[in-house]
Each structure stands twice: as C-alpha cells, then as structure tokens.
Amino acid sequence: MTPLAVFVLTTLASLTVSAADWPQFLGPTRDGVYSGGDIAPSPKPALLWKKDVGQGFSAPVVAEGKLLLFHRNGNKETVEAFDPATGKRIWATDSPTAYRDDFGFDEGPRATPAVAGGRVYTHGADGVVQALDLATGKRLWSVDTRQKFEFRKGFFGAVCSPLVEGNAVLVSVGGANGAGIVAFHKDTGKPLWTATSDEAGYGSPTIATIAGARHALFFNRAGLTDIEPASGKVRFQFPWRSRSHATVNAATPIVSGDLVFLSASYGTGAVLLQIQPSGPKQVWTSDDAISNHYSTTVLRDGYLYGFHGRQEEGQSLRSIELKTGKVQWSADRYGAGTVTLAGDRLIVVRENGELAVAQASPKELRVVAKAQLLPGTIRAYPAIAEGRLYVRDTKTLAAFDLRK
C-alpha cells in the first residue's frame, strides 16, 4: 500500500472510533462534541433499556464495546461495565469508600472515568486514583492521594475527571507541597511529575495543540494553569476566581485555535484569552455574557452555547459570540442542565429529566424535539455513542435511540 493509502485508511479508522465511542468526560475530543452523523434532525428517542444504579454524578462513558459507569453502592465505589445495546452487566469492580458529603448531597463519585489503551482510569470522591483492565475489570494499580499527597477535600470531595496524554494520566489532585496537579504513569501509577500548590476546584482539564505545542489546561480553584504535559512545566497561571470563599470553577476550558474561553459563576464571569509566546492576553471579560455554574459550553462556528447563572436560581440558556462576548439570544429561567453538540444540533439534557434538541444557531433558540427521559434529577453529563444517548439520574441509568 502507498503511504497515502495507509494515511487515508488510518484516518478513516480513527474517525470511526471517535464516532462509535465516548471514552471520557465530554467525549472523544473533550469538548462536548459528538462527531457521528447518525442522529435524526428531530429525534423521537425510544427507550432501549434502563436499570437501577447507585449514587454519583460521574457520567457514563462508552469505549470498545463497553458502557462504563462509576457509582456508589453502600460503602463501595463500583466501576461497572455493561453491554451498550442491552444493558447486560459484563463485569464489576468494587473499592471501599468512606466519603461523606458535608452538605447532604449525593455521596457517590463525581469524576467521570477515562478509557485509553485498554484501561479504565477513575478518580474517586475521597481521592483514590486507579487503573482497571477494560476487558476484565481487574485492578492494575491504585493511589490514595489523601495519604500520598495530602489531598484536601474542599466542599465536595474529588471531582477532576482524569485526562490521558501519552504515558501520563493527568489529575487535578489539590494536594499540598506542590502536588496540586499530578501526572501518574498510565502503566504503574507512579508519579511522573507534580505541579502547583493550588486547590483542585471542581472542573476537569482539557488538552490542545496551540502553535504546534501541546497544552494541558487546568481550570482550578485559583484560575487557569497551562502546563506542558510531558514535563509538568508550568507555562503560566492566570488568576480567575470569585472573591467569595464559595467560588466554584467547574466548567472545562474551551479552546479554539490560540483562544481559550473560561467561565464561572459566583460573580466571576467569563473571559477570553489569546495564548501568546509571552503568556495569555485578555481579549474580553464579562460577568453579563455567560457565567457557567457547573456545565461546560459548546462551540460551533464561532458561537458558544451554554447555561448562564446559578443553578439554584434558575439558569438561562444562551448563545454568545466567542470573539466578542456579545449575547446573541437568551432563554431566561430555562433551568439548569448540560449541552452537547451533535452536528448542527444542541442536545440539551435538563435537570428535570427533559431532553430538548435545538438548532445550533446564533439567530434564535429553535427547539425541534422534546422528550421526558427520566423523572429524577439529572446532573451528570450524558454520553452519545453510535446514535444512542446514555443518561443517569440519582437512581437510574438509561439508554435511548436517537438514530435516523
């Protein structure tokens, strides 16, 4: 075969995998975008199956023919693998947990698993990072970050969803003595490097290539940290947090070229940064454009779509222009939820259990389909793989068919 033919076939194979799998938090490219073209323009979701599950805000993921869920049953955190088409259990692996929520919320794991190279990486609510074999569920290694790095619980325990880059599993640990961010070797769990002494916050990192270099971007409690993932070298830190002690930086950074978008609630607001060799340049900032409480915006054709305001105060769903922060439209008192992008459609899963499919247009919010998925409160992100939508509320995991 010619080199060109090999390249084309390799590219097509990678596209097939990305469309078929949702292997980590916010999907294959960690930006809430589903690349499959198999979802109906105005889907009427049919329930494929549902089952009772334990506690947690950890989102489902799909990889290599398995649907994985990280949840809590009693005093055990369980990673469970299912058949995505039927919901039939394949394997389950338990770990002890003593996590207690100080505010009476859910006491299950918050962080979503990451699957890479035939392994499942998880981060439990009380700070345990582990690796399991995807085929069997066998535990390969485990690190108690509370014991090793003096992990600080904060308000809601450990939240960061692991990010796999090269040989490293990157986690915002929030440990003391320079262990704010830790890179674990993917095969052994041995720490490769540590960086910063910042508290972890409630967000998960993303990875991007900017000006030909890899950048791991962590939006922690104090603000944005840009790290060279191979070495752990901190390129820069950009302070961005509320003056309130109760600040929550939970949304994942959104990257477009050399632009990085951050958003947080509690009076923090949004900021657009341009990453330059000398460091970040502030393009615009606004508390009135969009303030993400816990869910991340999605980006399409230069416009952002997401939730604005505090979750408990009744959020707005809105669109803003990335380069200016100008609000394009706003659906006020819409309620809280998450937004995923599938082609030119917004897949909005509201906390009240409703699915709303809308056109991704800066001109107006035009909903093309609605359906009640589950009766309970949905706060975990959904997963989309092979045209199926997987959602969980406080008690149930369910699969729906969105295909044409």
pLDDT at 12: 37
Region 346-368: mean pLDDT is 97
Question: DSSP for 128-192?
Answer: EEEEEETTT--EEEEEEHHHHH----TTT---PPPEEETTEEEEE---STT-SEEEEETTT--EE
Token reading at 225: 């940290």
Residue 203 has pLDDT above 50, yes or no: yes
Cα separation of 8 and 226, whole Å?
33
pLDDT at 15: 39
What number does CATH give the domain 3-401? Answer: 2.130.10.10
Region 233-254: mean pLDDT is 89
pLDDT in tens, 245-282: 777 899 999 999 999 999 999 889 999 999 999 999 99
* Extents of the domains making up the chain: 3-401
pLDDT in tens, 87-131: 999 999 999 999 998 887 889 999 999 999 999 999 999 999 999
pLDDT-based confidence at residue 196 (cuts at 50, 70, 90): very high
Whose tokens are 């499919």? That residue is 357
Instruction: For residue 143, count other CB atoms closer than 10 A to its CB.
Output: 23
Cα separation of 241 and 356, whole Å?
31
Residue 156 has pLDDT above 90, yes or no: no
Please give the mean pLDDT across all residues of the chain.
93
Residue 3 has pLDDT above 50, yes or no: no
Whose tokens are 């995991």? That residue is 397
Token reading at 235: 């390129």
Token reading at 207: 């990875």
Among candidate residues 302, 306, 327, the one with its CA nearest the CA of residue 316: 306
pLDDT in tens, 300-309: 999 999 999 9
pLDDT at 16: 39
